[in-house]
Amino acid sequence: MDFSLSKEQRDIKRAAAKFARGEFQPELAQECELNHRFPRELYKKAGDLGFIGLDYPKEVGGGNMGVMENTLIVEEFCKADSGIGMAIHLAYLPAKIVKIFGTPQQHQKFLAPLVKGDWVSAVSFTEPDHGSDLTSMETTLEEKEDCFVLNGTKVFTTNGTYADFFIVLAQEDQEAPPGKGMTTILIERDSSTWLGGEMKINEIPNKMGLKMTSSVELVFHNLKIAKENILGERGRGLLNVLDFLDESRIEIGAQALGNCEGAFLKALNHARERTQFNKPIINFQAIGHRLARLWSHIQSIKWLTYYAAWVCDHQTGKMSRTVPLFTSMIKHHVPEIAKMIIDETITVFGGYGYFLDQDVERRYRDNRIIEIYEGTVEVQLNNIVRILKKLNLDFIGSTLL
């Protein structure tokens, strides 16, 4: 058993930390937060420096690496700043589904500009009446002689106002049983690529956090799309989404890990420097023990996240069957623990922790969405229960126990 990162992984982690510490300045973060602005200039820089698409094929400028390397970058970005880190990650994460299921032509067209930080991607699965339950879609996809026609409404698409392309899940066979008959299709923002109809993008205002991203409703009205934009096998849309989520949920967990590590470092610094009753507050056992507990919690979710990323990158034999278990563990446990940690850091800051300037209240708000998007905590727990019901209790020789 070897828990160490490789030299290349350590270099990537250090480079990401250096970039984020240097560029994600507090004044810039506050400006983006208050103006609800996506930091596109930093996204471009991240692309130029090779932080985007480390898991994409070399042919499109990617690094041919895995979930582990992406996890390290996301952790460092979010450690430096939750809002900027999450906004940048969420702009390239959706394209992972193109990496997994796209044709070589789709890779060149959609991933090559994304790797350079020139294009932003978005996924549109959720509908007004289908959030946790994606077993059927009301957005329809109909094949015509020379195109596919899309009709329906999607909600909560992240970065929809900036995205250059959208990956949309739609119902192709309306008679199919639950979970079947759906297809994923790529829609470009550039209306000159449409063969007819329209797509309207309506911003949904007033989010709790994650304010450096936009959230939109997409309305498709007889939108005609070229046949070459079908992504993956037709009728396998939900399975495409689930395969994507197996990888992406681990990287999403890394957002929470970075968010709470950043809050912890600020709180530790504050506890050493802030004096009350003529001593640094870390010397009050209530504060010192609190920080010690948080440190242990951080280490536990950090190594769980790294292990899950490793499992995802080493899918051989029995190991591959455990991926959905680990992704669901990361997706519920890491943000839940991170929420508790960030909440405790607010306590360490006292009244100052309640204001934007100290950054921990923003981290709390930004982090809250991680329990919701890409499948809620409850949905992840359902997945785990489903696996536990069949867990082999004869633990001798078990890979899990």
Ligand X SMILES: Cc1cc2nc3c(=O)[nH]c(=O)nc-3n(C[C@H](O)[C@H](O)[C@H](O)COP(=O)(O)OP(=O)(O)OC[C@H]3O[C@@H](n4cnc5c(N)ncnc54)[C@H](O)[C@@H]3O)c2cc1C
Which residues are the active-site residues?
374
Residue 163 binds to ligand X (criterion: CB under 6 A): no
Least spacing, CB of residue 125 vs ligand X, in Å:
3
36 scored as a contact of ligand X (CB under 6 A): no
**Contacts to ligand X from residues 63-122, by CB under 6 A:** 122
Instruction: Answer yes or no whether residue 131 interacts with ligand X by CB under 6 A.
Output: yes
Q: In the 8-state DSSP scheme, what is residue 108?
A: I
What is the closest distance, in whole angstroms, from the C-beta atom of residue 94 to ligand X in the complex? 7
Task: Indicate which single residue of 106, 121, 139, 157 sits in contact with ligand X (rule: CB under 6 A).
Answer: 157
**Segment lying near ligand X (by CB under 6 A), choices 6-14, 112-120, 125-133, 324-332:** 125-133
C-beta of 374: minimal distance to ligand X in Å? 6
User: Should residue 337 be labelled a site residue for ligand X when binding is judged by CB under 6 A?
Assistant: no
Among the listed ranges 32-40, 283-291, 372-380, 392-400, the one in contact with ligand X (CB under 6 A) is 372-380
3-class DSSP state of 154 = strand
What are φ and ψ of residue 148, in 5° steps? -115, 145
Between 300 and 382, CB nearer to ligand X = 382
* Closer CB to ligand X, 148 or 166, in the complex: 166
Nearer to ligand X, 266 or 333 (CB): 333
- 123 counts as binding ligand X under rule CB under 6 A: yes
Say how far apart CA 333 and CA 308 lie, in whole Å: 12
Q: Check binding of 202 to ligand X (CB under 6 A).
A: no
- Rounded CA gap, 235 and 171, in Å? 8
Sign, Cα dihedral of 390, 395, 398, 401: positive
Closer residue to ligand X in complex, CB, 35/275: 35
Task: Kindly indicate which of the ranges 95-103, 172-180, 344-352, 373-381 contains the residues binding ligand X, using the contact rule CB under 6 A.
Answer: 373-381
Applying CB under 6 A, does 373 fall inside the site for ligand X? yes
Q: How many CA atoms are closer than 13 Å to the CA of 74, on its beta-carbon side? A: 30
# of chain residues touching ligand X (CB under 6 A): 22
Does 315 engage in binding with ligand X (CB under 6 A)? no
Phi then psi dihedrals of residue 157, to 5 deg: -70, 120
Among residues 74 and 123, whose Cβ is nearest to ligand X? 123
Residue number with CB closer to ligand X (207 or 234): 207
Shortest distance in whole angstroms from residue 202 CB to ligand X: 15
E-state strands within 269-349: 275-276, 279-280
Strand partners, 152: 220
Minimum Å distance from CB 382 to ligand X? 5
256 binds ligand X (CB under 6 A): no
Q: How many Å is the Cα radius of gyration of the chain?
A: 22
CA atoms within 13 A on the CB side of 322: 20
Judged by CB under 6 A, does residue 153 bind ligand X?
A: no
Residue 126 sits in the site that holds ligand X (CB under 6 A)? yes
Q: CA 243, CA 219: separation in Å to the nearest integer? A: 26
Q: Which residues 211-230 are close enough to bind ligand X by CB under 6 A?
A: 215
Of 245, 327, 264, 255, the residue nearest 86 (C-alpha): 255
Residues 6+ apart with CB under 8 A from 147: 195, 196, 224, 225, 226, 227
Return d(Cα 256, Cα 383) in angstroms, integer. Answer: 20
> Which of 34, 174, 378, 399: binder of ligand X (CB under 6 A)?
378
Question: Measured on CA atoms in the order 70, 49, 115, 58, is the torsion positive or negative?
Answer: negative
Candidates 183-191, 252-260, 285-293, 369-377; binding stretch for ligand X (CB under 6 A): 369-377
8 Å CB contact between 121 and 164: yes
Complex with ligand X: residue 131 or 280, whichever CB lies closer: 131
The number of residues making up the chain comes to 401
**Which residue bears the tokens 């208050």?**
34
- Report which of 161, 172, 189, 211 is spatially closest to residue 31, judged by C-alpha positions: 211
Q: Kindly state the tokens that stand for 321.
A: 């069957």
Binding-site ranges for ligand X (CB under 6 A) = 122-126, 131-132, 156-158, 207, 210, 215, 369, 372-376, 378-379, 382
